[in-house]
Amino acid sequence: MKYPIGIQSFDQIIGDGYVYVDKTGLIYQLVKGGKIYFLSRPRRFGKSLLVSTLKCYFQGRKELFKGLAIDKLETDWAEYPVFHIDFNVGDFTLPGNLEARIEETMAAWEKQYGRSDTAQTTGARFIHVLHQARKRYGRRCVVLIDEYDKPILDVLDTGYATTVDGERRLLEDRNREILKSFYSVFKTADEDLQFVLLTGVTKFSQVSVFSGFNQPSDISMDEQYETLCGITQEELERYFAEPIKALATKYKVTEEGMLDMLKHRYDGYHFSSNLTDIYNPFSLLNAFAKKALRDYWFSSGTPTYLVRLLNHTQEDLNGMTGKYYEDKEFVDYKADVEKPLPMIYQSGYLTIKGYDSDFGTFLLDFPNNEVKSGFVSLVASSYLQPQENLGGWIRSVVVSMRQGDLEQLRKLFTSFLASIPYSMRAKKDEAEKERFFHYTLYLIFRLISVYTVYTEKEQSQGRADCIVETDDYIYIFEFKRDGTADEALAQIEAKGYARPYAADPRTLYKIGVNFSSETGTVEDWKTV
């Protein structure tokens, strides 16, 4: 089986015999059901392949679709003039690169369809080209724009600037204005357009690239198209039975066991209230090709701009994850508000995990262990700046928990917290000290949860700070800041945190920990 890793060309995938998960039935619904669309999906989720498939379809290349779902649905194959621009290509952190990219594309279109003698602006030139193409073909035009937002994301919150007419401008604002002018064509040229699709990671609103033209139909959370990109459970088992079996053999587990491992690591994305499970296709294909379960998607691109945004806005993951939101709170990124939640959700680091139909709200959390491990590690390293290697420390903690080695566990927590520089934990007031204390614990136990069962169980009388379960042990932690370990243990008893595990055959440990603000590490640790 050949896996199309890094190949986004539909005709190459089909022509060279790579595996293709058939999405053409949904594509047929898309092209027949509307005109102007916007689709947001995380990077490496198949957006470029979708665009390429649409391009081949509108070029009338029927032979490429033989045996696929659309082959039985489409009865009137026709060739349309197709205009495709891919903003994946280019470094837009340099002033003038976006203008050059658009000019290069426009010049190629004008060479094919002719240039107006009167049109001066890029928008006017584009309108002329679309009109000429329609006249030549006798059919309306198709416009496909891939990663429309990359010129903005490249410079978001960087402070990069340029000079326009002698005035200093943020490159972020400049690039947004250029794109807005370019896309405004779609309103004026409506009569010449058959189909328009814009794909990207983030939907910008308010001072937006969308405000200059007819609002596209945003299908990013449309139940009908939630599986347009990515791989469903049914598709995974139907198309990839052979590599699943091979991985199961290598890891010495059953095929059911391997499916469970793949689910925890790469599944968990949801794009509508239907909550249909979607796997990350990039990670899956790499795992099958390399016959190894690793963190492929996260390591393929570091979301440093998201960490910048979190630090800049003084928001933390603890305040965002595991909570219900209205969709308007995370669907549109508002540049003037600078709330990081929409960006984090749309970039794929958080996803929908539940839906409350009574209130129309969505539960957001990490999609899977790959994302949780990578993103939380990155945030923790930036926030805490520990001298110890975070990944190695987490592995040592998990091994200690699996073995029931409480003394080693105490030493590991003490040494790690002591490795956090004083400059990072030195806070001015009590509220900041408390926030640092709780956020540090949150980040640590979120990382531990990748390899164990980590719960924040609500009890009738409150919630334990942390409960960690392994195959053989249960750990109930209660932490105090500038108190005593005895006070922490007393709270575990008083609140009855251990009661739900009374009949559990595993060994249960209650651990009271006191953290010193002065020393920055564990001062007192007791276990019963």
* Pair 251, 261: CB distance under 8 Å: yes
Q: Is the dihedral of CA 175, 178, 183, 187 positive or negative?
A: positive
What pLDDT sits at residue 338?
67
Distance CA 451, CA 430 (A): 33
CA dihedral 2, 270, 153, 440 (to 10 degrees): -110
What pTM was computed for the model?
A: 0.91
Give dist(CA 524, CA 528) in Å, integer: 14
H or E element: which one contains 86? strand 82-86
CATH 3.30.1490 fits domain 10-225:
no
Alpha carbons within 13 angstroms on the beta-carbon side of residue 231 total 22
Helix H, strand E, coil C: the string for 430-466 is HHHHHHHHHHHHHHHHHHHCCCCEEECCEECCEECCE
**Would strands 204-205 and 333-334 be described as parallel, antiparallel, or unpaired?**
parallel
Q: Angle at Cα 450 formed by Cα 446 and Cα 455, nearest 5°?
A: 55
Per-residue burial over 80-116, b if 16 or more Cβ lie within 10 Å, else e, is bbbbebbbeebebeebebbeebbeebbeebbeebeee
Give per-residue pLDDT as tens, 413-445: 999 999 999 988 888 788 888 889 999 999 999
What are the residues facing 141 on neighbouring strands?
193
From the number of C-beta atoms within 10 Å of its C-beta (0-12, 13-18, 19+), residue 336 rates as exposed
Domain with CATH 3.40.1350 in the chain: 388-527
Q: How far apart are CA 328 and CA 319, in angstroms?
A: 18
User: C-alpha distances in angstroms, 50 versus 19, 268, 347, 519?
Assistant: 15, 21, 18, 55
Q: Is 238 helix (H, G, I), strand (E, B) or coil?
A: helix
- β-pairing verdict for 453-455 and 458-459: unpaired
DSSP 354: E
The CATH architecture annotation of domain 388-527 reads 3-Layer(aba) Sandwich (3.40)
Q: At what angle do helices 255-266 and 281-290 cross, to 10 degrees?
A: 140
Residue numbers of the chain with a pLDDT score lower than 50? 207, 459-460
Label each residue of 259-317 as H, E or C.
Answer: HHHHHHHHCCECCCCCCCCEECHHHHHHHHHHCCCCCHHHHCCCCHHHHHHHHHHCCCH
Name the H helices within 79-154.
97-113, 122-137, 150-153
Query: 118-130 burial, b for 16+ CB within 10 Å, e for fewer?
Result: eeeebbebbbbbb
* Residue 205: per-residue pLDDT: 66
* Residue 406: burial class (beta carbons within 10 Å; 0-12, 13-18, 19+): middle
Specify which residues 167 forms β-bridges with.
164
The alpha carbon dihedral of 461, 462, 465, 471 has a sign of positive
Are residues 54 and 197 in contact, defined by beta-carbon separation less than 8 angstroms? yes
Q: Estimate the share of the chain in helix, then strand, then coil, as percent rounded to the nearest 5.
A: 45, 20, 35
pLDDT score recorded for residue 182? 87
Q: Give pLDDT, residue 301.
A: 82
HEC profile of 119-138: CCCHHHHHHHHHHHHHHHHC
Q: Please say whether the beta carbons of 175 and 92 come within 8 A.
A: yes
Select from 254, 38, 18, 297 the least CA-distant residue to 143: 38
Strand partners, 83: 143
Give start-end residues of each CATH 3.40.50 domain in the chain.
10-225
- Nearest CA-CA partner of 444 in 397, 401, 481: 397
pLDDT of residue 138: 96
In terms of phi and psi (left: phi > 0; alpha: psi -120 to 50; beta: otherwise), the region of 312 is alpha
